[in-house]
Amino acid sequence: MLNQAKFTPKGSHPFHTRFQPKNAAKRAFDITGAAIGLALLSPLFVFVAWRIKRDSPGPVFYRGRRAALGGGEFRILKFRTMYEDKRSYAGPKVTGDGDPRITPVGRWLRDTKLNELPQLWNVLKGEMSFVGPRPEDPDIVAEWPEDVRNEILSMRPGITSPASVLYRNEEKMLQNDRVMETYLQTIAPNKQRLDQLYVRHHSLWLDLDVLMWTLFVLIPQVRNYQPPESMLYRGPVTRLTQRYLNWFVIDLLVSFLAFGTAGAIWRTMGPLNVGRARSLGLAFGFALLFSLIGALLGTNRIDWARANAADVFDLVPAIAIAALVVLGVNRGLGIFPGGLILLAASLAAFGFVAARYRIRLVTGFFSRVLRARKGVQAARERVLIVGGGQAGQFAIWLLNSGRTADLFHSVGIVDDDLYKQGARIRGVDVIGQSKDIPALVKEKDVGIIVFAIHNISTAEKRSLLDICRQTQAQVVILPDFLESIEMAHTLNDEGKMDTPNASRMARASGNLPVEQVNAWLREIEHLADTKDTKTLQAYIKALRVEIENKA
């Protein structure tokens, strides 16, 4: 049974949203859209009201209890679709397919979703929004988990939502006698999940996507189409904006700045009278060409916040083609000096790259500032990395990524390769060799040693680990992920090692001296007794590599 839990008063809700510019923009859109919609649809409202009154006795509108923003309740406004009698009020709070309480006109209104249009008045009053979590009956909401309820009620409920699009045929899914139970157990939890996703990722562009999908699925010819869930949260409007329009605006500003700077430089060498309008037109044309060519070549699909250094070369063809086209057009018109266009294109190319890698450039700058501030470094755990190879570089990346960047500070790398001494690898200095580890731990106040060397013999690895364990620092052995990948590559479809590798290892193990095998077994027993599972795993992996190398 549904309980009658009370809601917190509006404004005291723990998720009650503070003023934000995007919330103000959303509210302004709601007020404008609702006012225009009510004015334009008033003749339709009169027609629907006339049909309802002719169909069955009772009021034109239905006013139902719904959970409001921040808790509390409001009365949702809909066209009445049920008979006005006790049976309608005594039945389940959700309707299933073929519900006898629904009138003939009410069935038509529900199928076309016209019964929802009066909610424009709720939007105008501020009780609802065009897009938001679909308002639910307070008695049902009272049964939700508290964290889910708080999150969903942190936004105004909406006329439509991603969940409304996916469950627009909800009544047809509820066809048995246990309508309420089926709804609460199968449909409601997924709608809650979809509403939570909307609350977390809502934006103006997402709202436009949801409105577009809502109108699209109401078309009779495509009513049975079920859009993928991912397309609801990153639909055509969002993708067009994030991948194309946003970057075009940025590239346009970069082009204006580049061509303006090039013109200023050119004027220091002689007169330049081409007119501001022509200069702006040239910059606009260059940015437009660059964006169009980039879209055709797929550069807009790159997530530049996570791009690697090699992705910058994907910009080169678009920049070169745009520059050549502008040069060709200008040659025919003879307006600008060719050298000025080449200079502006070069400056624009630098700006395009800087704009796309701006996050990395900014974080790199602040990383250097933080390295220079000893007070900030002291607040983080100091880490010494043993090994400057691929595993060591992977350790650096792990320590500098995400929330671990605020917890750890890499004081340096230790590596016995003489060519690496004094070098900087992935932003971390090589500060010594293995023999220097004890002194470096004391000097740098190291709390953790990350052991990241795997391409050495077992004896060398044991010797290095002994040096590390003589210090007061905690030793962490980084798993040899490269070896794991290589080993996985050698497995066949049945999960067994490929015959060539297996035979090589078998031959190698058969040719090994008995003393060597016994020494390995003793070391494994010793590590097993100490219960140092990480070291034991690393040792076994090293044995596997050594046996394979002897094959």
Distance of alpha carbon 513 from alpha carbon 261, whole angstroms: 74
Q: Residue 254 is encoded by which pair of tokens?
A: 């970069």
The CA–CA distances, whole Å, from 283 to 160, 238, 264 equal 42, 26, 14
Report which of 358, 150, 157, 350 is spatially closest to residue 254, judged by C-alpha positions: 350
Q: Can you list the alpha helix ranges (DSSP code H) found in 57-166?
A: 86-90, 104-112, 119-125, 138-141, 146-152, 162-166
Single-letter amino acid, residue 354: A
Element (H, E) at 55: helix 21-55
Q: What is the pTM of this model?
A: 0.58
Q: What is the CA radius of gyration of the chain?
A: 34
Q: Residue 126 is encoded by which pair of tokens?
A: 């501020």
Q: How far is CA 144 from the centre of its chain?
A: 27
| DSSP assignments along 246-284, one per residue | HHHHHHHHHHHHHHHHHHHHHHTTS-----HHHHHHHHH
Distance of alpha carbon 159 from alpha carbon 116, whole angstroms: 7
Distance of alpha carbon 311 from alpha carbon 308, whole angstroms: 6
Query: Exposed, middle or buried by CB within 10 Å (0-12, 13-18, 19+), for 206?
Result: buried
Distance of alpha carbon 550 from alpha carbon 56, whole angstroms: 91
Distance of alpha carbon 186 from alpha carbon 487, whole angstroms: 43
Contact 193, 147 (CB under 8 A): no
Report which of 449, 401, 460, 461 is spatially closest to residue 426, judged by C-alpha positions: 401
250 Rama sector, left if φ>0, alpha if ψ -120 to 50, beta otherwise: alpha
CA angle in degrees (0–180, nearest 5) for 270-264-354: 140
Count of CB atoms situated within 10 Å of the CB of 200: 9
CA angle in degrees (0–180, nearest 5) for 372-415-362: 30
Contact 147, 105 (CB under 8 A): no
Question: What does the chain come to in residues?
Answer: 551
pLDDT at residue 151 in the model: 93
Distance of alpha carbon 120 from alpha carbon 77, whole angstroms: 9
Distance of alpha carbon 6 from alpha carbon 9, whole angstroms: 9
Contact 483, 542 (CB under 8 A): no
Contact 68, 157 (CB under 8 A): yes
pLDDT at residue 170 in the model: 81
For residue 240, give the DSSP letter.
I
Q: How far is CA 525 from the centre of its chain?
A: 47
pLDDT at residue 528 in the model: 65
Q: What share of the chain is helix, strand, coil (3-state, %, to 5)?
A: 60, 10, 30
pLDDT at residue 548 in the model: 58
Q: Where are the domains of the chain?
A: 21-233, 238-356, 479-551
pLDDT at residue 171 in the model: 78
Q: In a structure prediction context, what are the per-residue pLDDT tens digits for the chain, which is 551 residues long? A: 344 344 443 443 444 444 566 788 899 999 999 999 999 999 999 999 999 999 999 999 999 999 999 888 999 999 999 998 888 777 777 888 788 889 999 999 988 889 999 999 999 999 999 999 999 999 899 989 998 999 999 999 999 999 988 888 787 777 767 788 778 888 888 899 899 989 988 888 889 989 998 888 888 777 677 777 777 777 788 878 877 888 899 899 999 999 889 888 888 887 777 777 888 888 899 999 999 998 888 887 787 776 777 788 889 999 999 999 999 988 888 888 888 889 999 999 999 998 888 756 655 555 555 455 544 445 578 899 999 888 888 888 888 776 666 678 889 999 988 888 888 888 889 999 999 999 999 998 899 999 988 778 878 888 899 999 999 899 888 876 655 655 555 544 444 444 444 444 444 445 555 556 666 666 666 666 665 666 667 777 776 666 655 55
pLDDT at residue 30 in the model: 94
